Amino acid sequence: MSHSPIAPPRPRSPNIQIYRPQLTSVLSIANRISGGILAIAGIGLVAWLVAVADGPQAYSAAQSALASPVGRIVLFAVTFAFFLHLCGGIRHLAWDAGYGFELRAIYASGWAVVAASIVLTLAAWIAPLFVTW
Protein backbone atom coordinates (compact mmCIF):
# COMPACT_ATOMS: atom_id res chain seq x y z
CA MET A 1 0.00 0.00 0.00
CA SER A 2 1.34 3.41 -0.94
CA HIS A 3 0.18 6.62 0.67
CA SER A 4 0.26 9.97 -1.08
CA PRO A 5 2.68 12.46 0.52
CA ILE A 6 -0.16 14.85 1.36
CA ALA A 7 -2.78 12.61 2.93
CA PRO A 8 -1.72 10.87 6.18
CA PRO A 9 -2.37 7.13 6.48
CA ARG A 10 -6.00 6.37 7.12
CA PRO A 11 -6.69 5.51 10.78
CA ARG A 12 -7.49 1.91 11.54
CA SER A 13 -10.50 1.13 13.65
CA PRO A 14 -11.09 -0.32 16.18
CA ASN A 15 -7.72 0.51 17.66
CA ILE A 16 -7.50 -1.98 20.47
CA GLN A 17 -4.79 -0.14 22.44
CA ILE A 18 -6.87 3.02 23.01
CA TYR A 19 -10.32 1.44 23.10
CA ARG A 20 -11.89 1.29 26.57
CA PRO A 21 -12.52 -2.42 27.24
CA GLN A 22 -16.21 -3.26 27.29
CA LEU A 23 -17.95 -6.56 27.98
CA THR A 24 -18.90 -6.76 24.32
CA SER A 25 -15.41 -6.21 22.95
CA VAL A 26 -13.70 -8.32 25.63
CA LEU A 27 -16.02 -11.28 24.95
CA SER A 28 -15.51 -10.85 21.21
CA ILE A 29 -11.72 -11.14 21.45
CA ALA A 30 -12.07 -13.81 24.16
CA ASN A 31 -14.07 -15.94 21.73
CA ARG A 32 -11.26 -15.69 19.18
CA ILE A 33 -8.49 -16.33 21.72
CA SER A 34 -10.34 -19.28 23.26
CA GLY A 35 -10.87 -20.68 19.77
CA GLY A 36 -7.14 -20.48 19.13
CA ILE A 37 -6.41 -22.16 22.47
CA LEU A 38 -8.88 -24.95 21.64
CA ALA A 39 -7.26 -25.50 18.23
CA ILE A 40 -3.94 -26.04 20.02
CA ALA A 41 -5.72 -28.25 22.55
CA GLY A 42 -6.90 -30.31 19.57
CA ILE A 43 -3.25 -31.22 18.95
CA GLY A 44 -3.16 -32.40 22.57
CA LEU A 45 -6.29 -34.50 22.01
CA VAL A 46 -4.68 -36.25 19.04
CA ALA A 47 -1.42 -36.75 20.98
CA TRP A 48 -3.41 -38.24 23.85
CA LEU A 49 -5.27 -40.64 21.49
CA VAL A 50 -1.95 -41.66 19.92
CA ALA A 51 -0.63 -42.36 23.44
CA VAL A 52 -3.64 -44.56 24.17
CA ALA A 53 -3.11 -46.38 20.87
CA ASP A 54 0.56 -46.96 21.73
CA GLY A 55 -0.40 -48.95 24.81
CA PRO A 56 -0.63 -48.84 28.62
CA GLN A 57 2.88 -47.41 29.14
CA ALA A 58 2.40 -44.40 26.87
CA TYR A 59 -1.11 -43.97 28.30
CA SER A 60 0.13 -43.82 31.90
CA ALA A 61 2.91 -41.42 30.86
CA ALA A 62 0.30 -39.15 29.26
CA GLN A 63 -1.98 -39.44 32.29
CA SER A 64 0.80 -38.56 34.73
CA ALA A 65 1.76 -35.57 32.55
CA LEU A 66 -1.86 -34.39 32.66
CA ALA A 67 -2.02 -35.01 36.42
CA SER A 68 1.12 -32.94 37.11
CA PRO A 69 0.61 -29.39 38.49
CA VAL A 70 1.43 -27.81 35.12
CA GLY A 71 -0.77 -30.35 33.34
CA ARG A 72 -3.70 -29.61 35.64
CA ILE A 73 -3.34 -25.84 35.19
CA VAL A 74 -3.22 -26.21 31.41
CA LEU A 75 -6.18 -28.61 31.46
CA PHE A 76 -8.17 -26.25 33.69
CA ALA A 77 -7.44 -23.31 31.36
CA VAL A 78 -8.46 -25.40 28.35
CA THR A 79 -11.69 -26.40 30.13
CA PHE A 80 -12.51 -22.73 30.76
CA ALA A 81 -11.60 -21.82 27.16
CA PHE A 82 -13.87 -24.61 25.95
CA PHE A 83 -16.91 -23.51 27.95
CA LEU A 84 -16.29 -19.85 27.08
CA HIS A 85 -16.14 -20.71 23.38
CA LEU A 86 -19.16 -23.03 23.69
CA CYS A 87 -21.34 -20.46 25.47
CA GLY A 88 -20.05 -17.63 23.27
CA GLY A 89 -20.77 -19.78 20.22
CA ILE A 90 -24.35 -20.42 21.34
CA ARG A 91 -24.72 -16.64 21.81
CA HIS A 92 -23.46 -16.15 18.27
CA LEU A 93 -25.90 -18.74 16.90
CA ALA A 94 -28.76 -16.88 18.62
CA TRP A 95 -27.57 -13.64 16.99
CA ASP A 96 -27.34 -15.44 13.63
CA ALA A 97 -30.98 -16.48 14.07
CA GLY A 98 -31.83 -12.82 14.68
CA TYR A 99 -32.34 -12.88 18.45
CA GLY A 100 -30.83 -10.79 21.23
CA PHE A 101 -29.60 -7.70 19.42
CA GLU A 102 -31.07 -5.13 21.86
CA LEU A 103 -28.38 -3.52 24.03
CA ARG A 104 -29.91 -4.90 27.24
CA ALA A 105 -30.09 -8.40 25.74
CA ILE A 106 -26.49 -8.18 24.52
CA TYR A 107 -25.23 -7.35 28.01
CA ALA A 108 -27.52 -9.90 29.68
CA SER A 109 -26.34 -12.69 27.34
CA GLY A 110 -22.75 -11.51 27.74
CA TRP A 111 -22.82 -11.79 31.52
CA ALA A 112 -24.71 -15.10 31.17
CA VAL A 113 -21.83 -16.41 29.04
CA VAL A 114 -19.30 -15.35 31.70
CA ALA A 115 -21.32 -16.86 34.56
CA ALA A 116 -22.18 -20.08 32.72
CA SER A 117 -18.53 -20.58 31.66
CA ILE A 118 -17.30 -20.25 35.24
CA VAL A 119 -20.04 -22.51 36.66
CA LEU A 120 -19.60 -25.19 33.98
CA THR A 121 -15.80 -25.16 34.32
CA LEU A 122 -16.04 -25.62 38.10
CA ALA A 123 -18.74 -28.28 37.65
CA ALA A 124 -16.56 -30.24 35.21
CA TRP A 125 -13.72 -30.22 37.76
CA ILE A 126 -15.86 -30.96 40.82
CA ALA A 127 -18.00 -33.68 39.21
CA PRO A 128 -15.14 -36.25 38.95
CA LEU A 129 -14.86 -36.15 42.76
CA PHE A 130 -18.34 -37.70 42.95
CA VAL A 131 -17.74 -40.35 40.29
CA THR A 132 -17.17 -43.71 41.90
CA TRP A 133 -15.54 -46.09 39.49
> Using CB under 8 A as the criterion, which residues of the chain lie in contact with another protein when the complex forms?
32, 35-36, 38-39, 42-43, 45-46, 49-50, 52-53, 56, 59-60, 82, 86, 89-90, 92-93, 96, 124, 127-128, 131, 133
Q: How far is the CB of 103 from another protein (least distance, A)?
A: 24
Q: How far is the CB of 131 from another protein (least distance, A)?
A: 6
Which amino acid appears at position 128 of this protein? Answer: P
Q: For another protein, which is the closer residue by CB, 6 or 133?
A: 133
Q: For another protein, which is the closer residue by CB, 11 or 103?
A: 11
Tell me whether residue 117 is exposed, middle or buried, using C-beta atoms within 10 angstroms of its C-beta: 0 to 12, 13 to 18, 19 or more.
buried
Tell me whether residue 100 is exposed, middle or buried, using C-beta atoms within 10 angstroms of its C-beta: 0 to 12, 13 to 18, 19 or more.
middle
Residues in contact with 14: Cβ distance below 8 Å, sequence separation at least 6, in sequence order: 25
CA distance 16 to 32: 14
Q: For another protein, which is the closer residue by CB, 6 or 39?
A: 39
Q: How far is the CB of 129 from another protein (least distance, A)?
A: 9
